[in-house]
Structure 1
Amino acid sequence: MLLCRISLVSQTLPRWGRRSQRGGGLLLRAVSFSSSRCHGVSSGEGSAQPAESGSGQGQYRDTVLLPKTDFPMKLTGQKLLDKELEIQQDCKFADLYSWQRERKAKKEFCLHDGPPYANGDPHVGHALNKILKDIRNRFEMLRGRQVHYVPGWDCHGLPIELKALGELGTSGLSPLQIRQKAREFAEGAIARQMAAFQRWGVMADWDQCYYTFDGAYEAAQLKVFQEMHSKGLIYQDYKPVFWSPSSRTALAEAELEYNAEHVSRAIYTTFPLATLPPNITKEAAFFFFFICVLTDKPSATCLMPSEYSVVKRLDNSELLLVATERTANMAALLGTELEVVSTFTGSQLEGGICKHPTIPSKEVPLLPANHVTMAKGTGLVHTAPAHGMEDYSVASQFKLSVDCIVNEDGKFTELAGPELHNLSVMNEGTDRVISMLKECGSLVKEERCVHSYPYDWRTKQPVVIRPSKQWFINTASLKDKAKEALQKVRVLPESARSSLLAMLDRRTYWCISRQRSWGVPIPVFYHRETGEALINKHTVSHVAQLFKEKGSDCWWELPIETLLPAAVLKKSKAGPVGDYIRGEDVLDIWFDSGASWAAVLEESDSRADAYVEGKDQIGGWFQSSLLTSVAVRNKAPYKSLVVHGFAVSEKGEKMSKSLGNVVDPDVVINGGKDPSTPAFGADVLRWWVAESNVFSEVQIGPNALNSARDSISKLRRTLKFLLGNVHSFDPRSQAVDPKEMHYIDQYMLHLLREFSIKVTDAYSEFDPGRVIRVLQAFISRDLSSFYFSIIKDRLYCDPEDSLGRRSCQTVLEEILDGVTRSIAPILPHLAEEVYLHAPGHDEGETLFRSGWIKSSSVWRRPGLEEAVEGACAIRDSFLSSIPGKNSAQYDLTIAIEPGLLFELMESLQEEPTSTSSQLCELMMSSRVKLCSELPRDLPSDALLKHGTFLINLEGGVIREDSAYSIAVVPTSAARCPRCRRFTAESTDCLCPRCQTIVSQSQ
């Protein structure tokens, strides 16, 4: 293709070591917990009963307080789907948005919804976008903000028109008939998409959505148009635009996609020099030479100020002019040596006149231009003012004629000559041009070029550049203001900012008129005889009011006397209405959606807190919204931009039916006909979105979905353990004051507070993936591998109403509540299901109406963290000395010299030796002896270890590196048949604690 400006030529650390130092905290070594078992009960939270059968165990089973809950460990298949729908119904998901809008709130959070295109069924790209938005909205609502989120749809445009008409085409149909069919098609797509979004659990104002074909929306859009026109930012002109022959309309750059495999035919041809440049004397030009360039029907040939050489081909003595630095490449291309005869600067060559190779009477001047590069080709570039953006700039500068030789169908016009008339420029027209150059002896070289080329984003066919009379926005005059406005916008990821700025730089004007029927009419009238446009604030305001009342169909339905009444004509100082006809063009759909801030945001000067869309909107909605808002209000319509990637297959491929890798979100939720496509439910789809790195390409497929399901299953087991152990606990009357709790319980409240802060920060950063990582680390390290394994004896075997057990239950209920709320924005169905089983709230109360994670600063007590983590450092030494063995079968002696560490350990065990102290519970041993030095009479089989622990209190004011030693020996005590700790005198005798509990229960 010759006319479309081919620029080829012219041519994780473990729990206790993850922090080096904390303000007021401790410097800890990187150590990990042993996976030892305690009391014969697995350290995993899923275990509900002892793992072994002891000889006397059965008779005491009823005295052990094992977990109880009817919360199911697992939900699959139809039961899972039924439960999600039941949760949506019982917890009033449909009413949640209106409820939170009516409540009092100090702050509002506005996430302005970018309108999805109403031209098909919902797909995983929709799921990625809508669920990501919903996660943030639900989080903001939970923490007390009033969320403003009105979903919308982009309803106009060529794709909808083409799909609606199908095989009918536009033949014989009036604009109103076309619009009716397109509207019906869009409404069907909207209904299907909306139903899917609701099934995914998206919270929104579903009764007050916005649609770009709604009359009120169109009126707001025309108000933006009128204000921009009145500022001189919208104008009509005849200039080159991207033109799609396949859809017979102009396109904006945002409507293009680039085919990297497009094949063009590049040619080198000679232009004989007819008139010497004025800066070259006749003496210097003692030879006759030719210029080698790529051409179609140029009006000029452009060059750079660089050095050029006249070279002689040694195979035929022909003289050619090429850029000096391209000489070697040209020699290789032509397969001959090139001898340099003379050199000139580009400025010396300016003003020379060449002859056109096929039209000898046509003169082609040599002109300077900044767009010429030396990367490829000859260093000289053909210039066709009507068929290239840079070419048009050169033509404007040097006042060259702009003659269009390509029509709306992409074929040569009569101006191209009889041999080319009506031939397609992309196919047979190219063949004929090359043949003509061969015939006149001007063709030097032809080669096939694979390169990136613009295609119509909907028809998938190549476009051409051709001039036509269109309506434009002068973005060049807006760019600086837009860039300044962007500096005040937070962009996630920050790397996307450079792409936004680069897109703005490339866009000197924006073609906003389209030659179709399905869209918002450009409110302009043309004089019948002169063609002069009649458009001003009076005409546009009147049309906008009609659109608001009747919708834009009235542009075709009403007589022109109604559209352009006498009063408006008088204000416009125009002639009689009979002198005018209505325009037929419609507005670019990017202008449609780009004006959404004016139609949806409640206050005229308001800005949305966030716009969240895929990276394709960098050159689309993000930019059109920015330009229109800056033009009208001198500011961006958003405070932050979140740019996410695309959903791709697990192999990283773009999804397509031909590859068979399309993932249907409906099949993900409800299952498919194939047994390999089970029903995962909506929460698995939501977990997939949350867990993904949304700032890059997001992979989806069986592996990702199975992984999401397994992660939720593990989470359910933890939640079931928590629910099972608080089943008889009422936090409103039985909760223990933190000051009276065991130290490890207080410490877990401290970790829960840390967890809640991290989760809150991650949600605030639009990073649900970090939420999941923080959650999983908290569950696996702090809960399952640590706290749950330590407290099971106290939880199962202490008296039901004892302070120690109630202390533990108080913490478990707080953890249950905190974890449930932390997952709620991601897994709303599971969170509400857990909340229905959880204690401490009234029947009918729902989680999403009860707020965010509740944590208290009083949970962090001075010295608490140091005491527990100091004990844990000793514990790690103990467990590492008996790898793979049961810690409960050993007695532990801890020796610490008098000092801070000894005092901290004394706070956990007041007496020198104990089998029931908090220190003993933490060590999970049979007995703990705390002393200032190791006894001298240790048995020969004692295992010895030494270590140090750095205490850092009050921000480093108090620092002490304390040494400790431990001695580990097998216990001589027998295992209690009830609690299974090695604290009994014999195997058939209960330990003292269990004797007391059993006797009191009889």
Structure 2
Amino acid sequence: MFHPLPAFTYLKPTKRLLLQMQRLVIVLVFFLSLLQKCGFSELYSWQRQRKTKQEFCLHDGPPYANGDPHVGHALNKILKDITNRFHVMRGYKVHYVPGWDCHGLPIELKALSEVRGGENLSPMEIRQRAFAERAIEKQKSAFIRWGVMADWANCYLTFDPKYEANQLRVFSKMHDKGLIYRDYKPVFWSPSTKTALAEAELEYNEQHVSRSVYVKFPLLKSPPKLASVIDGSSPANVLVWTTQPWTVPANQAVCYMPDSAYSIVKCATTGQHFILAADRVESTAAVLDTQFEVISTCKGADLADGFCAHPTIPGRVSPLLPANHVAMTKGTGLVHTAPAHGMEDYGIASHHQLPTDCLVDESGCFTEAAGPELKNKYVLEEGNEAVIKMLQAAGSLLKEEKYVHSYPYDWRSKKPMIIRASKQWFVNTADVKATAQDVLKKVKVIPTSAVNRMLEMLDRRTFWCISRQRCWGVPIPAFYRKSTGECLMNSETIADVIKIVEQQGTDAWWALPTEQLLSKESAGVHEVSDYVKGQDILDIWFDSGTSWAHVLEGAEQRADIYLEGKDQLGGWFQSSLLTSVAARKKAPYKTLVVHGFTLGEKGEKMSKSIGNVVDPEVVINGGEDHTKDPPYGADVLRWWVAESNVFTEVLIGPVVLSAARDDINKLRNTLRFMLGNLEGFNPETDSIPPAEMYIVDQYMLHLLHEYGSKVTEAYKQYDYSKVVRLLQAFCSRNLSNFYFSVIKDRLYCEEAKDPKRRSCQTVLAEALDVVVRSFAPILPHLAEEVFQYIPYKKGKGVFRTGWINASSAWKKPGIEEAIEGACAMRDSFLGSISGKNALEYEVIIVIEPGLLFELMEALQAEETSSVSQLNEIMMASQTTLLSELPKETPSDANITKGTFLINLEGGDICEQCSYKVIARPIAKAKCPRCRRYTAESSSTPCPRCLQVLAAGKGST
């Protein structure tokens, strides 16, 4: 079905394009016919109606409804589909409801980019669903085209009223437990999008360039323990280093490490005295292009009770305070502390009751409180410049230099973040994370290394900022008293809002007046008119993190598996865990499977400028120029996913896709051979019992049983690349290169209903069934296509007839020694004739009496034969089995020697046997029918063929 289209390079472009289009139409018509015949689109609803107690739930992490489908989507959705299809075939009732994340900044920014004057729109104008709905339909169509089986009629969308109501119910439970609170503290803030962001929404730019400065803080009051050392004859200063000069106006303290050593030094250039960490003296002097003379050294604790003058604000005092976050690996070992712009700084301020005044507005510009020199200046640009000039004017700036380092950026606008204090809503994860970590340790995580990363992330997380200053999302149902700003929010007020949201959706929060959202009973002693609605929405990670409450069924509401990319270790995996543990003290999943990201085939990030972006639609349907971008079909895309080591980064590009197509074509050739040779065969009437089969046929059933077991286990471990490796090895080595080669004579030359021919046809039927079922979850279209061409299947779909059914009777470990011993001798024979036609030779095998000789006798009872099982394996025209060398060996004979180790019954029987293989040209004529050299004359068929022809049922 999915043949690569021909290049037609010899035709004129117009005619070539016409032929390409005709071929594409034919393929599409066949494709649609196939899907209809096998009930492809109805499979999900069919399996949901089965009566079985075995259930398997894969909860779909919702992609953003803000763009076209891409290869990252393909990787994720196809992995999920392979998993689900395997479980359907295993007899499970699969629960898989696709979803989309429809709120938040990613979609809002995309929608606003399509509207002129978007920054002036009202909340109700911004909250339009049309953009998200268009993206959902486009992505959904692509997912279906990729063969993803799902409940497409009942997808979950995070802006559906019932979903939003369930989300607020989880919020209410967490609020009732005291886990949600409002506070004024520094958070990651995006000036470009004017909202707070959680750490999971940050990207780190490793090449960010900051304007770092070395600044002196004049010592106003010497630490008492150092008074005798600092005699006051020369000015003493505390020396600090910061990469964010714009935060200096907000400085409230300078911190030191109590247990570290600090030095008082004298500058050789200026004669000034400085205090800095002892370990940083030499490196700092080098940066400042001077020399420091160490006057004295002390413990950090000796700096207690010292005070500095603020470098730019006259009259402000900055105390010296101890802190454990001070690092000695860079800077001066003394940290400038601005509580409004640092997490650790805020902790110091809280402990010592220092002010946490924020001088920066939502746009990242200095406010009026920063003074006329700084007002309205953007802190990361002209604001930084202005502060540096102020430091220079005050004589406090010692050095400015560029500093390249990792810095947080807004994950959507791709612009730098700042840390800024503001009033926000938080989840107190400090009270939840210990339970979350204990619960997570009981979850199966693949690969296992991922669980440690997630545990570390949880350990570092003391709070979760869940408020966003946007309007495209679920509102935080808080009311504020106009006169005092006091917040009103309790279980009753939230319940009132939930009732309205369930009926009207969250648009009601912006569309309805406060009087309709807040009842008089909930307002208590105050008038409803005394309150205003809050303007913050919930973090979209809270939106998607509560999906378990809406999607998962049953009292337990727990999925068997969450399967997403590694970025979700700090995203959806974590927000789902935290909300579930907070609300009900258990994880929403039993297993986590974590895959990597997609990259270009050289390991580079995909970029339009580089030209290495792979569009799944072009992969399937081809580009404008089919010679450059041929249509590969959906199964090539699926094969790429399955064959990749998805637990690392996944590479894709023209070379990778072409190789995937070639792999599938090789598989198709193997399938075509089996299908072609099963013509006229009916397993119900024509099968041969294993005990009556040729030994090589029994051997193949044994290998088939082993293959089925290994493939099943690989699927259970979500190791689909191993499935592909097992499939390729079995089809190439065991079937094509070995079995098909040795049975061709039986298939083509024996009488149609001869038991010897039926024996290998029985194996082919079983092998076709096992192989097709083994790759069906990966290549569902090809699997269904094959099943449509198996006459005795009567149109039954592969997914409706179960998983691999390999009989335990096929397992015969002892049989391996006979076949593998014969194969070792065949390899010696073929190696000795240097690629010549094996049928032009007769083979003499000489084995001393013993176990190996007895095994070979089971394959050939008579001394010489051209129709024995041993001769079939040797692929010669005639084979002779002897226990000693013949007295006369022709001069033109090739003699090779070898040994074979027989190991039976787990090592209880172990014997090293030697053998000789003599190959010599055969003297007989070539049979015109079977083409073996077994005839008396080239014009007369050999005795075997004459017998078949005499029966009147053979073919010439």
Q: TM-score, normalised by structure 1?
A: 0.90
Kindly state the Cα deviation for residue 605 of structure 1 after the two structures are TM-superposed: 1.9
Three-state SS of the structure 2 residue aligned to 1:279 is helix
Alignment of 1:86-105 (within 5 A): 86-105=33-52
Kindly state the Cα deviation for residue 608 of structure 1 after the two structures are TM-superposed: 1.2
Letter in 1 for 2:95: H
Does 832-841 or 888-897 show the bigger shift?
888-897
- Partners of 2:873 and 2:229 in 1: how far apart? 101
**Is the Cα contact below 8 Å between 2:695 and 2:869 reproduced in 1?**
yes
Pair 1:204-2:155 in alignment: no
1:339 equivalent in structure 2: 293
Say if 1:283 and 1:209 are closer, same or farther in 2 by CA, change over 3 A: closer
Kindly state the Cα deviation for residue 170 of structure 1 after the two structures are TM-superposed: 4.7
Three-state SS of the structure 1 residue aligned to 2:722 is helix
Say if 1:406 and 1:815 are closer, same or farther in 2 by CA, change over 3 A: same
Three-state SS of the structure 1 residue aligned to 2:359 is coil
Kindly state the Cα deviation for residue 974 of structure 1 after the two structures are TM-superposed: 1.6
- Equivalent position to 2:270, from 316, 324, 336: 316
Deviation string for 1:170-200 (max 9, x for gaps)? 55533222212xx111111101111111111
Letter in 2 for 1:228: M
Kindly state the Cα deviation for residue 286 of structure 1 after the two structures are TM-superposed: 5.7
2:547 equivalent in structure 1: 596
- Partners of 2:575 and 2:910 in 1: how far apart? 59
Three-state SS of the structure 1 residue aligned to 2:319 is strand
**Is the Cα contact below 8 Å between 2:865 and 2:878 reproduced in 1?**
yes
Kindly state the Cα deviation for residue 280 of structure 1 after the two structures are TM-superposed: 2.7
Alignment RMSD, CA only? 1.8
- Equivalent position to 1:713, from 665, 669, 687: 665
Kindly state the Cα deviation for residue 639 of structure 1 after the two structures are TM-superposed: 1.4
2:172 equivalent in structure 1: 226
Pair 1:179-2:127 in alignment: yes
Kindly state the Cα deviation for residue 160 of structure 1 after the two structures are TM-superposed: 1.4
- Equivalent position to 1:82, from 29, 32, 37: 29
- Partners of 1:657 and 1:966 in 2: how far apart? 62
**Is the Cα contact below 8 Å between 1:81 and 1:670 reproduced in 2?**
no
- Equivalent position to 2:190, from 244, 249, 261: 244
- Equivalent position to 2:884, from 933, 941, 948: 933
Alignment of 1:46-125 (within 5 A): 77-125=24-72
Kindly state the Cα deviation for residue 490 of structure 1 after the two structures are TM-superposed: 1.7
- Equivalent position to 2:418, from 464, 467, 481: 464
2:716 equivalent in structure 1: 764
Three-state SS of the structure 2 residue aligned to 1:310 is strand
Alignment of 1:737-886 (within 5 A): 737-843=689-795, 845-861=796-812, 863-886=814-837
Three-state SS of the structure 1 residue aligned to 2:402 is strand
Three-state SS of the structure 1 residue aligned to 2:747 is helix
Three-state SS of the structure 2 residue aligned to 1:815 is helix
Alignment of 1:179-578 (within 5 A): 179-180=127-128, 183-282=129-228, 285=231, 288-294=235-241, 296-297=248-249, 298-304=251-257, 305-569=259-523, 573=524, 575-578=526-529
- Partners of 1:307 and 1:483 in 2: how far apart? 37
2:906 equivalent in structure 1: 955
- Partners of 2:668 and 2:602 in 1: how far apart? 30
Kindly state the Cα deviation for residue 135 of structure 1 after the two structures are TM-superposed: 0.9
Letter in 2 for 1:89: Q
Say if 1:317 and 1:857 are closer, same or farther in 2 by CA, change over 3 A: same
- Equivalent position to 1:984, from 932, 935, 945: 935
**Is the Cα contact below 8 Å between 2:64 and 2:106 reproduced in 1?**
no
Of structures 1 and 2, the one with the larger relative CO (CA 8 A, separation 6+) is: 1
Kindly state the Cα deviation for residue 825 of structure 1 after the two structures are TM-superposed: 1.0
Deviation string for 1:895-925 (max 9, x for gaps)? 2233322221111111122111111111112
- Partners of 1:591 and 1:501 in 2: how far apart? 19
**Is the Cα contact below 8 Å between 1:77 and 1:678 reproduced in 2?**
no
Three-state SS of the structure 1 residue aligned to 2:210 is strand
Letter in 2 for 1:190: I
Three-state SS of the structure 1 residue aligned to 2:43 is helix
- Partners of 2:660 and 2:117 in 1: how far apart? 45
Letter in 1 for 2:74: A
Three-state SS of the structure 1 residue aligned to 2:266 is strand
- Partners of 1:171 and 1:968 in 2: how far apart? 87
Kindly state the Cα deviation for residue 988 of structure 1 after the two structures are TM-superposed: 2.0
Kindly state the Cα deviation for residue 482 of structure 1 after the two structures are TM-superposed: 1.4
- Partners of 1:156 and 1:606 in 2: how far apart? 23
Deviation string for 1:805-829 (max 9, x for gaps)? 0011111111111111112111111
Kindly state the Cα deviation for residue 599 of structure 1 after the two structures are TM-superposed: 0.7
Deviation string for 1:138-192 (max 9, x for gaps)? 1111111111110000000112122223343455533222212xx1111111011
- Equivalent position to 1:728, from 680, 687, 690: 680
Kindly state the Cα deviation for residue 284 of structure 1 after the two structures are TM-superposed: 6.0
Does 224-233 or 408-417 show the bigger shift?
408-417
Deviation string for 1:541-580 (max 9, x for gaps)? 23222212221112223343332224545xxx55332332
Does 277-286 or 84-93 show the bigger shift?
277-286
- Partners of 1:642 and 1:172 in 2: how far apart? 43
Say if 1:190 and 1:179 are closer, same or farther in 2 by CA, change over 3 A: same
Letter in 2 for 1:216: K
Paired residue total: 923
2:8 equivalent in structure 1: none
**Is the Cα contact below 8 Å between 2:702 and 2:813 reproduced in 1?**
no
**Identity percentage over the alignment?**
61
Letter in 2 for 1:696: T
Kindly state the Cα deviation for residue 858 of structure 1 after the two structures are TM-superposed: 0.4
Three-state SS of the structure 2 residue aligned to 1:986 is coil
**Is the Cα contact below 8 Å between 2:229 and 2:296 reproduced in 1?**
no
- Partners of 1:430 and 1:478 in 2: how far apart? 39
- Partners of 1:795 and 1:661 in 2: how far apart? 48
- Partners of 1:982 and 1:285 in 2: how far apart? 113
- Partners of 1:608 and 1:754 in 2: how far apart? 31
- Partners of 2:109 and 2:765 in 1: how far apart? 58
- Partners of 2:78 and 2:310 in 1: how far apart? 60
Does 166-175 or 642-651 show the bigger shift?
166-175
- Partners of 1:88 and 1:117 in 2: how far apart? 29
**Is the Cα contact below 8 Å between 1:77 and 1:680 reproduced in 2?**
no
1:56 equivalent in structure 2: none
**Is the Cα contact below 8 Å between 1:84 and 1:681 reproduced in 2?**
no
- Partners of 2:74 and 2:660 in 1: how far apart? 15
**Is the Cα contact below 8 Å between 1:81 and 1:681 reproduced in 2?**
no
Kindly state the Cα deviation for residue 402 of structure 1 after the two structures are TM-superposed: 0.6
Kindly state the Cα deviation for residue 872 of structure 1 after the two structures are TM-superposed: 1.5
Kindly state the Cα deviation for residue 943 of structure 1 after the two structures are TM-superposed: 2.5
Kindly state the Cα deviation for residue 862 of structure 1 after the two structures are TM-superposed: 5.3
Does 626-635 or 538-547 show the bigger shift?
538-547
**Is the Cα contact below 8 Å between 1:272 and 1:289 reproduced in 2?**
yes
2:79 equivalent in structure 1: 132
Kindly state the Cα deviation for residue 283 of structure 1 after the two structures are TM-superposed: 5.6
Deviation string for 1:6-61 (max 9, x for gaps)? xxxxxxxxxxxxxxxxxxxxxxxxxxxxxxxxxxxxxxxxxxxxxxxxxxxxxxxx
Q: Which runs of 5+ in 1 are unaligned?
A: 1-74
Kindly state the Cα deviation for residue 256 of structure 1 after the two structures are TM-superposed: 1.2
- Partners of 2:533 and 2:67 in 1: how far apart? 32
- Equivalent position to 1:1001, from 925, 935, 952: 952
2:245 equivalent in structure 1: none
Deviation string for 1:719-746 (max 9, x for gaps)? 1111110011111211111111111111
